[in-house]
Structure 1
Amino acid sequence: MAVFEVVFHGQVRADVAPEQARARIGQLFQVADRQLDMLFSGRRIVIKQGLDQAAAEKYRQAIERAGALCEVLPVADSPAEAAPQPVPRVTQPAQQSAAPVPRDEFMAAFSDVEAPDLPIAPLGSDMQDAYADHTPLSLDLSAFSLAPPGSDLAQLKTSVPLVTPDITHLHMLDED
């Protein structure tokens, strides 16, 4: 089975502002400014390695949605077998260092990042965990009652006392 790695060179998509892509990548990987400086230094940084092609493609899509560019490369068994891969066009000026830095120093930027490989459930599978038997709570609900079906559940109407007017001063006349 082929093993892949996700490589980032600090490049930003042409249609995205570099500051916006930097902020989105910071949110995606939950890293601070110091680690973002290392990411966007223009150096080759392996984001994740030891992935199958589908998982590596998910990382690439997430990074591209954030506005940056990355590569998914197959991992060679030995350095002699590794063929140099062409680097895509840079949309912002990258600062190249004269001396190569060990790979572990770059990976140290991601030592605090928790990015688990979460699987995706197959189509149509049940996503709800099985319910375990539970003991019912001992609640006293005797103070509550239910309205009969069809009842008006609006606010209770307050009863207004009936006022009987005094009509003793009125008389009826017979006119025949």
Structure 2
Amino acid sequence: MATGYNVYFSGQVLAGEEPAEVRRRLGQLFKADEATLDKLFSGKAQLVKRNCDKATALKYKQAMEQAGAAPLIKAIAAEPAAAEQAPAAKLTAAQRIAMLANAPDVGRPDADRQTAENRVQAATTGDTQRGTFGILPAGSDVLRPEERQGPASPAVTAPDLEVGAGGERLSAVPPAAPPAPDTSHLSAAPVGATLPTLPATAEPVSPDTSALHLAPEGTDFSDCAA
């Protein structure tokens, strides 16, 4: 007999995920109403997919983990072939109704269940064709915590550098300033004093003005026009 698998969910979410956001994503994935989501997040293990093969169980696991949920997968022994089974006793109508009411599977019509399976298939088929990558909602972390790498410390090589002692100058000491000039022989004159004129070396000029005289008053200088 081949081994079958049951897929359960007990309301647990992956590390770093918000339960409300995971609930919303699962509602979109399974087209589940609020009553079904309340049952899924009740804290008790709820059967999501019954007696499926390993490949189908892994597809459910991958799709639910992409939504942020942490599924539970348990292996079960496959039911024997119909020829090997003992004839089942005929059930009464009341027994059949009780079995349907107590079924642990997520309650939804067969058409909705088939739609959910198709959505799981669509969510995982693209990832199979493209490798292990998928499209996550806006704001989702791309890497898991264990896939993240811390910042690497750069290896800096500085053979020509050294650390100076505390208080040490970074540049050479500048040359000393020249001494101030001696002004002890200088003094300031009082206000209003006449400053002496510097001695001149040129000979004073004394022109001969004996041939010059002043014209009498009223002289006409028109003859000097030429």
With normalisation by structure 1, the TM-score equals: 0.49
Q: Which has the bigger relative contact order, CA under 8 A and spacing at least 6?
A: 1
Higher normalized strand content (fraction of residues)? 1
Higher normalized helix content (fraction of residues)? 2
Larger-Rg structure: 2
